[in-house]
A and B are shown apart, each in its own frame.
Chain A
Amino acid sequence: MTDISLHRGISLHRIGAMILRYWYLLMSSWPRLLELLYWPAMQIITWGFIQHYIALNANFFARAGGTLIGAVILWDILFRGQLGFSISFLEEMWARNLGNLMMSPLKPIEFLLSLMVMSLIRLAIGVIPMTLLALIFFHFNVYSLGLPLIAFFCNLIFTSWSVGIFVSGLVLRNGLGAESIVWTLMFAIMPLACIYYPVSVLPVWLQYVAWALPPTYVFEGMRALLIDNTFRIDLMLDALAINAVLLVASFWAFLALLRSAKNSGSLLSGGE
C-alpha cells in the first residue's frame, strides 16, 4: 500500500500533510483565529495613539514619523513568528499526538519545515490586518518601505524560527513544564534588540551583546531608513550571517534535545 522509496530524503508530501493538519485545526477553532488577530490589532491601536500623541509634542518624533509604529509592526513579526512556530508545536504536545508523529515516517527536519510554513501562515493572518489598521488609522504604510521591508522581514523571521526551534526542543525534552519558556524567551531578547531606542542608549559593554542579536540590526536599519532615508544593506548582511549561524545551532540543539528526550523516555510521558 505504501511506496517505501517515498520515505527516503525530505518529502514535500509529508510536510504538506503536517501543514494540512495545522490548517484543519486553525479552521476548526474560531478562538484560535481570533487570538491571531486580536493581539496585533490591540498593539497597533495602542502604540499608534502613543505615536500620534508624541508626534504632536516632540520635534524628534515628528521628524521620525512612523518609527514607533514601524517598530511595533516589526517586533510583532519577530514575536508572532516565533509564537506561530511554537504554538503549532505545542498543539502536538497538548493533543498527545507527538508519539504518533515520531513513530511515523515524518523526519525531524520535515516537522520543523512544516512548523516554519505554519508560522508564516499564522503571521499573515495576524499581521496583514495589523498593517492595514496602521495605514487606515495612522497613515503609516509599512509597505512603502519597499524592498528593505523584505530584508527586515526575512531577518526577523529567521530569528523567530531559531528561537522557536530551540524552545520546542526544550519542551520536547522537559515536557509541558517548560511551556512558559515559549511565551517568555522572546521578551528576554526585547530590551537588547533595541526595538524602540538606538543601540547607543545601552551601556557600551551591553552593546556587544545587542549586536550579537540579528533583530538589533533590523531595528537600527529601520531607524536609518525612516529617519535618515538610508538603507543600510551592511546591517542586513551582518544580520543574515548571524541568523545562518543561529538556525544551524538551533537545529543542532533540537536534535540533541530530541535525542536526550529519547534517552530519558520523556517522549512517552510528554506531560509535566
Chain B
Amino acid sequence: MTGNDKASSRPTVAGSTSSAAIEVDRLVKVYKQTRAVDDISFSLPRGSITGLLGGNGAGKTTTIAMIMGLVLPTSGRVQVLGHRMPEESAAVLGRMNFESPYVDMPMRLTVRQNLTIFGKLYAVKNLSGRIAELAEDLDLTEFIDRANGKLSAGQKTRVALAKALINQPELLLLDEPTASLDPDTADWVRGHMERYRKANNATILLASHNMLEVERLCDRVIIMKRGRVEDDDTPEAIMARYNRTTLEEVFLDVARGRVNGEREAAR
C-alpha cells in the first residue's frame, strides 16, 4: 500500500477538515521535463510531527517549498492552517516559520540584530523579552552580540532555530535541521524541537536524511521517491511492513528498489 493510496482515503483539500495543519491534494510540480513532485496527497493533523524522507532528488525540498509558497505548483492544491497557499499566504505566513540549509542569516549582523529584524517582521510583541527567552532556551547568551558570520556551524544552527521560533509558530517546517552538526549538538536540537512541539501543540514537518532523528521524533513518516509518496505511516508500521528493525534499513530498501529486504526480480 503506497502513501498515495492511503492519502486518498484521508480528507483532501476539496473535502477539507480545518483541523489539519497541512493538506496537500494531488500536488504536481514539473520543472521543464522533470516531474519533481508527482501527484502527491497527504494531510497532517495539528500537533503532529511528521518526517519527510527520501533520497536526493526525491522531491522533499520542492514539496516543502510549495507548502511555504516559495514554489508554485504546476497543479494540485495546498492548504496551510486552513488557508490556501499561496493565494492566502498573508493570513498564514505570520503563524508559521521554517529553517532550511538553502537560506542563511545575514552574516555581518549580530545574532541580536538578526533576531530583532525578524521579530519585527513577524510583529512579535515584547520582542526584547522574546529574544532573551530564546537566548536562554537555545543557549545563545554567550554570543548574542557576535556577528552571525563568526559563529561555528552548531551556533549558527541554534541561531537559525531561534529565528524559526521567534514568532512561536503553530507550524514549523524544517529542512535538514541537524545537517552538519556534531552528534551532541544535533541531539540537543532534537530535544528542543520535541519540547517546543509539546509545549505549544505545534505541528512540525521535518525533512531529514537522519533516520535515527526521524525515528526518535516523528509519529508519522512519509517516504518519497522520484517525486511520489512511496509509503506513509507510523515509523513502527513502516518498519514492520518492510520487515526491518530500523528506518535506515527501510530507506535503503526503498532507495534500492528492494521489498522486504529482497531485490525486486525486475531489477
Q: A residues within 8 Å of B by Cβ? A: 1-4, 6-8, 11, 13-14, 16-18, 20-21, 24-25, 28-29, 91, 95-107, 259, 262-265, 267-270
Contact = CB atoms under 8 A, between A and B. Distances in A.
Given A97-B103, A97-B105, 5 more contacts: A14-B120, A95-B104, A97-B104, A265-B62, A268-B102
A1 B129 CA distance: 11
B203 interface: no
Contact of A2 (B29, B72, B108, B167): B167
Contacts of A268: 61-62, 65, 70-71, 102
A103 B92 CA distance: 10
A102 B70 contact: yes
Of residues A11, A21, A105, A267, which shows the largest number of chain B Cβ atoms within 10 Å of its Cβ? A105
Contacts of A91: 106
A24 B106 CA distance: 10
Given A2-B123, A29-B108, A104-B121, A7 B90 contact: yes
Contacts of B113: 21, 24
Interface string B230-241: 000000000000
Interface in B47-65: 61-62, 65
Nearest to B65: A268
Given A96-B104, A265-B65, A268-B61, A6 B118 contact: no
Given A21-B106, A107-B90, A262 B72 contact: yes
B121 to A, nearest CB: 4
Contacts of B167: 1-2
B141 interface: no
B254 to A, nearest CB: 24
B116 A20 contact: yes
7 contacts: A2-B122, A4-B94, A7-B90, A8-B91, A14-B120, A20-B116, A265-B36
Given A28-B109, A103-B70, A103-B98, A1 B103 contact: no
B93 interface: yes
> By DSSP majority rule, is chain A's interface helix, strand, loop, or mixed?
helix
A104 B93 contact: yes
Contact of A20 (B107, B120, B130): B120
A17 B90 contact: no
B258 interface: no
Contacts of A4: 91, 94-95
B109 A8 contact: no
Nearest to B120: A17
A157 to B, nearest CB: 25
A8 B116 CA distance: 20
Interface of B: 29, 31, 36, 61-62, 65, 68-72, 86, 90-91, 93-95, 97-98, 100, 102-109, 113, 116-118, 120-125, 130, 147, 163, 167-168
B163 A100 contact: yes
Contacts of A96: 102-104
Nearest to B127: A1
Given A4-B95, A103-B93, A265-B65, A25 B120 contact: no
A99 B61 CA distance: 13
B106 A105 contact: no
B121 A17 contact: yes
A17 B117 contact: yes
Contacts of A3: 123, 125
A11 B106 CA distance: 22
Contacts of A7: 90-91, 93-94, 123
A21 B114 CA distance: 8
Contacts of A104: 93, 118, 121-122
A269 B61 CA distance: 11
A8 B117 CA distance: 18
A213 to B, nearest CB: 34
B71 A262 contact: yes
Nearest to A110: B121
A103 B31 CA distance: 21
B93 A105 contact: yes
Nearest to B160: A100
Nearest to A4: B94
Contacts of B121: 14, 17-18, 101, 104-106
Nearest to B123: A6
A2 B104 CA distance: 23
Contacts of A16: 120
A119 B92 CA distance: 30
A2 B124 contact: yes
Of all A-B residue pairs in the complex, the 3 with the closest CB atoms, nearest first, are: A17-B120, A99-B103, A6-B123
Given A2-B168, A24-B113, A99 B102 contact: yes
A247 to B, nearest CB: 23
A93 B130 CA distance: 28
A21 B109 contact: yes
Given A2-B94, A105-B94, A267-B70, A24 B123 contact: no
A24 B113 CA distance: 8
